[in-house]
Chain A
């Protein structure tokens, strides 16, 4: 894919698109440093959904009337937008789901239950979000497959050198890895994992929920077999995500949810399934949310994923530099040049909940907890961390307010 040089991202200009920043929090300006959990929404996305409801809403695929045609065009247009965004060979390989977690569950159940058994190995990573960990652990236990974990090195990056050792003589059938760690910001070498998986005859399942908002996701370049994304982390609405899968795999798979729309023919004796992607989209889908998903992709694509990635790298470097001024703060994860816009940290002797609570009083929103990564927390030897994460609308003032807030935390609790 050709990458055209784009102007540098102007976060202050982008910020004006986001109505949330007009809100005062406890009387203070909002410093929103929790975009890795979910992003804020620009006016363009909110307007697209509102406009769709006001002018084009009806049930998709069924009606022959004008509104149903408009709604179907909106919904299927969004599928094409997602397909182009992921550089999918065909937009028919894009299945709408509720979120990235559901996308992975579709693969775990519909592929895993029918393709895994005793003697098979399912391999996940130590920094995996529970979304790409728990479904595989469950399906492995149900099918009798071995569930194994690829360890991290001390900088929080995957130990590719341990792949063969962890796999041993087992028959590896699934390699499941996130694109970007939601806790440490480590960027995983998905291409290399996919190549290794394919050498072993396994499928590669990539959770790109934390990747797609921040960098180019090209499913063909990744070499993955399944890729999961979600709208709400990339300026889109909650309630919709997508699974991209290679067509031959999707066609060979059993359905996941059953009911209306996913059928070809139903009799009392038997039911035959509809074509991909309908086979995986039983029942009424999140129609306006799909339209919002498409509008969000248009919004971030217009800015440019490369510009967003660059902006976040700069913020991560700035954030790490400012946090390094505080000897009582410990940060986790790889150096700035190898991490996405996510910084996990702890304040000496002070629980993350207390840190986050006092920061909230200063209008600074950060995440405190285990970030749905309990195996990783165990590795780090902590129960929880604080996490500051950045997006296209994040400005350095917000990081400065975080630092000022941390001084206040120390003053109150130490």
Chain B
């Protein structure tokens, strides 16, 4: 499970930190393990392209590495596109089989990012977004 790329993202997380005056932000909590993730997004001048993403919080290697990978994947993409990103796209990137419990760790960051983007754009969160019902998103 702890393959090289996961360990690399865990030990050297991309985009760890806070964006002051972010264009979109949200925080989430996994009540199962107490993991917390806050995500901050800033848009480019077009108000659509993701210029920067940062995250803070605490959690297991899987949740931290997955969120770090998500930061790499998010930069340069369009906000509306990213808000619709299927979870499988992230899971393929993670590339390891995850038990249902660890799946929630892996998807915490994506859930929080989606909340942030939908909230900033005023669009409703897609109903089919699996895994979210188990998380507390603020």
Indicate whether A353 sits within 8 Å of B33 (C-beta atoms), given known contacts A412-B7, A413-B7, A413-B61.
Answer: yes
Within the complex, the shortest CB–CB distance from A183 to chain B, in Å, comes to: 13
Query: Is B35 part of the contact surface with A, judged by Cβ < 8 Å?
Result: yes
Task: Assess the B2–A369 pair: CB atoms within 8 A.
Answer: no
Query: CB-defined interface of A361-401 with B at 8 Å, one 1/0 digit per residue?
Result: 00000001110000001000001100000000000000000
Task: Assess the B36–A383 pair: CB atoms within 8 A.
Answer: yes
Closest to A370 in B: B34
**A350 contacts across to B, CB distance below 8 A:** 61
Query: Is A358 part of the contact surface with B, judged by Cβ < 8 Å?
Result: yes
Among B7, B10, B36, B60, contact of A353 (Cβ-Cβ < 8 Å): B60
Query: Is A74 part of the contact surface with B, judged by Cβ < 8 Å?
Result: no
Query: CB-defined interface of B21-48 with A at 8 Å, one 1/0 digit per residue?
Result: 0000000000011111000000000000
**B36 contacts across to A, CB distance below 8 A:** 383
Closest to A360 in B: B1
With an 8 Å Cβ cutoff, the count of chain B residues facing the other chain is 16
Task: Assess the B34–A413 pair: CB atoms within 8 A.
Answer: no
Task: Assess the B2–A358 pair: CB atoms within 8 A.
Answer: yes
Query: Is B58 part of the contact surface with A, judged by Cβ < 8 Å?
Result: yes
Within the complex, the shortest CB–CB distance from A366 to chain B, in Å, comes to: 14
Task: Assess the A413–B2 pair: CB atoms within 8 A.
Answer: yes
Task: Assess the A384–B2 pair: CB atoms within 8 A.
Answer: no
Among A368, A383, A412, contact of B58 (Cβ-Cβ < 8 Å): A383
Q: Which of A350, A352, A383 has the most CB of B within 10 A?
A: A383
Query: Is B105 part of the contact surface with A, judged by Cβ < 8 Å?
Result: yes
Which B residues, 54 to 102, have Cβ-Cβ distances below 8 Å to chain A? 58-62, 102
**B2 contacts across to A, CB distance below 8 A:** 354, 357-358, 412-413
Task: Assess the B33–A413 pair: CB atoms within 8 A.
Answer: no
Task: Assess the B105–A353 pair: CB atoms within 8 A.
Answer: yes
Q: Once the chains are docked, how many angstroms separate the CA of A368 from the CA of B33?
A: 8
**B60 contacts across to A, CB distance below 8 A:** 351-354
**B59 contacts across to A, CB distance below 8 A:** 351
**B105 contacts across to A, CB distance below 8 A:** 353
Task: Assess the B7–A384 pair: CB atoms within 8 A.
Answer: no
Q: Once the chains are docked, how many angstroms separate the CA of A377 from the CA of B33?
A: 11
Query: CB-defined interface of B9-24 with A at 8 Å, one 1/0 digit per residue?
Result: 0100000000000000
Among B7, B35, B102, contact of A383 (Cβ-Cβ < 8 Å): B35
Q: Which of B35, B59, B61 has the most CB of A within 10 A?
A: B61
Within the complex, the shortest CB–CB distance from A386 to chain B, in Å, comes to: 12
Indicate whether A413 sits within 8 Å of B10 (C-beta atoms), given known contacts A351-B61, A354-B61.
Answer: yes
Q: Once the chains are docked, how many angstroms separate the CA of A334 from the CA of B11?
A: 34
Within the complex, the shortest CB–CB distance from A344 to chain B, in Å, comes to: 14
Residue numbers of B with Cβ under 8 A of A are 1-2, 7, 10, 32-36, 58-62, 102, 105
What are 9 A-B contacts defined by CB distance under 8 Å? A351-B33, A352-B60, A354-B60, A357-B1, A368-B33, A369-B32, A383-B58, A412-B2, A413-B7
